[in-house]
Amino acid sequence: MDNNQYLMISAYGSYFAEIPHYFVTAPGRVNLIGEHTDYNDGFVLPIAIDRRTYATARPMYGDLVKAKSVGFDDMEEFHIREKLTKRDRWVDYLMGVIEEMKKDSYSLNGFWVLLRSDVPIGSGLSSSAALEVASGLLIASLFEHDIDRLELAKIARRAEQNFVGVNCGIMDQMATLLCTEDHALFIDCRDQSYKQVPVAFKDAGFVVVDTKVKRELDNSAYNERRAQCEAAVAAVAKKKKGVTALRDAETADLDKIAGDVDDVIIKRARHIISENDRVQKAVQMLEKKDACGFGALMYESHESLQHDYQVSCDELDRVVDIARETDGVMGARMTGGGFGGCAVALVKQGAEKLFAEKIAAAFTPEQPDDENADEKKQEEGPALPEVFSVKPVGGATVQKLDIKS
């Protein structure tokens, strides 16, 4: 039994005075390249990372669910057979999964669950998908429903769309469930087919920079981007047969709609079309173990997200600028939905420390030179970015526990 499991089981005993029957984990993810392409029927290339949501539970008689998340004060309670409504709290992800499972006629009963997560929240590392997937996997195990992983990813995504209200693509939920150790997951989001691509660069690995800038307004901006992509599709479809998503369009098609739509629509579409192309090239670079080529595509992706799709922010741009100026950093880009959160960089072994130091220096606020400096710093200082190396890990796990009281 590993330490996380041990701690969760002991904590379960203190909160519920019971022994749990199942233990599940679901990782966060870093998308290496292919941003905002998933809801355009395009391509993405995420890895799962070793930051996880842990959940442990046992079924109970009746239909009462008690749910506790370590780090959040309240014990949430609800009756599983009643129609659940949003509470604007973390438990929405659990309730959303339950509502979607009910739609699919899975029989469910009461249970008591303890959750904990070390995936940073709102950082573009898929903390919400990890929570949805951990919930779904746990519930499926508790009530002995054998749900295929791709099917579960779809349930989790519907929870996010229908209950939580974010009209997301399928990338995060698939990554959390289907990634394997030492591989990136190349997904064709049109038909949800996927392929495992080994990540085996010689002497180079991925580093995440969490700017700690919390994503705000991202929901409305995310939905606005989706609407802009749909406007582009509608315009291209009038000129070219068989276009049902930006996946089907080429850059040359955008010249044909130049006078018909606003320039901003053209820019959004140009990002999606060029990004799809970059993802396919990135897979070839991974297969050839060409870290330089892969890194160059990451920089191009960031440029496109910064200027055409306009979902970056000053801090993310600064991180990428520092990456460009640091020996041994081969590529960098923002990752996830954007407007804050994380960047991912491809860094030569041994250069991680220099990169982290340069970031810390660039983000450390100027010291005020009056005598109350320390107090002021504590009051005002924004959180400094966190820099950490990531390796591709395997997707969600489930384990039946056999603990004797």
Of the pair 78, 90, the CB lying nearest ligand GLA is at 90
**Closest approach of ligand GLA to the CB of residue 221, in Å:** 11
Q: Which stretch binds ligand GLA (CB under 6 A): 28-36, 85-93, 201-209, 248-256?
A: 28-36
Q: In angstroms, give the least distance from the CB of 98 to ligand GLA.
A: 20
State the virtual CA torsion across 358, 363, 364, 370 in degrees, nearest 10.
Answer: 140
CA distance 175 to 78: 29
327 is catalytic: no
Residues 324-353 that bind ligand GLA (CB under 6 A): 336-337
Cα 46 versus chain centre, distance: 9
Of 137-145, 167-175, 317-325, 390-398, the segment contacting ligand GLA by CB under 6 A is 167-175
Among 38, 41, 92, 172, the one annotated catalytic: 172
Contact pattern from residue 283 through residue 302 relative to ligand GLA, giving x for each residue in contact according to CB under 6 A and a dash for the rest: --------------------
CB of 168 to ligand GLA, least distance (A): 3
- Under the binding rule (CB under 6 A), the answer on residue 168 touching ligand GLA is yes
> What is each CA distance from 349 to 79, 329, 352, in whole angstroms?
52, 9, 7
Write the single-letter amino acid at 114: L
Looking at the Cβ atoms of 39 and 54, the one nearer to ligand GLA is 39
Does 218 bind ligand GLA (CB under 6 A)? Our answer is no
* Residue 35 sits in the site that holds ligand GLA (CB under 6 A): yes
Q: Choose which of 171, 174, 282, 342 interacts with ligand GLA (CB under 6 A).
A: 171
How is 114-168 classified by DSSP, letter by letter? EEEE-SPTTSSS-HHHHHHHHHHHHHHHHTT----HHHHHHHHHHIIIIII----
d(CA 210, CA 120): 9
Of the pair 302, 348, the CB lying nearest ligand GLA is at 302
The Cα–Cα gap between 75 and 38 comes to: 35
**Would you give the binding string for ligand GLA spanning residues 119-148, x where CB under 6 A is met?**
------------------------------
Query: Residue 236's CB: how many other CB atoms inside 10 A?
Result: 23
Nearest alpha carbon to residue 55 among 83, 19, 22: 22
For the segment 61-80, give every residue that binds ligand GLA (CB under 6 A): none
Least Cα distance to 139 among 197, 216, 58, 198 occurs for 58
SS3 209: strand
158 is a site residue for ligand GLA (CB under 6 A): no
By CB under 6 A, residue 38 contacts ligand GLA: yes
- Report, in Å, the least distance between residue 126 CB and ligand GLA: 6
> 152-181 burial string, b = 16+ CB within 10 Å, else e?
bbbbbbbbbeebbeeebbbbbbbbbbbbee
d(CA 99, CA 284): 40
Determine, following the binding rule CB under 6 A, whether residue 41 of this chain makes contact with ligand GLA: no
36 vs 278, beta carbon nearer ligand GLA: 36
Angle at Cα 117 formed by Cα 111 and Cα 118, nearest 5°?
165
Please, which residues have CB within 8 angstroms of residue 209's CB and are 6 or more apart in sequence? 319, 332, 342, 343, 344, 345, 359, 385, 386, 387
Residue 6 CB, nearest approach to ligand GLA (Å): 32
Examine residue 392 and tell whether it contacts ligand GLA (CB under 6 A).
no
Separation between Cα atoms, residue 310 and residue 301, nearest integer Å? 12
- Regarding 36 and contact with ligand GLA (CB under 6 A), the answer is yes
Q: How far is the CB of 44 from ligand GLA (least distance, A)?
A: 7
By CB under 6 A, residue 275 contacts ligand GLA? no
How many CB atoms within 10 Å of residue 220? 9
Between 125 and 204, CB nearer to ligand GLA? 125
Could you give the strand order of the β-sheet that contains 22-31, starting from the edge strand earlier in sequence? 75-79, 64-69, 111-117, 46-59, 22-31, 397-400
CB of 223 to ligand GLA, least distance (A): 11
Q: Does 169 bind ligand GLA (CB under 6 A)?
A: yes
Q: How far is the CB of 92 from ligand GLA (least distance, A)?
A: 15
Q: Which residue stretch of 34-42, 90-98, 100-108, 393-401 sits at the interface with ligand GLA (rule: CB under 6 A)? A: 34-42
Query: Any idea which residues carry the catalytic annotation?
Result: 172
Instruction: List residues binding ligand GLA (CB under 6 A).
Output: 31, 35-36, 38-39, 168-169, 171-172, 336-337
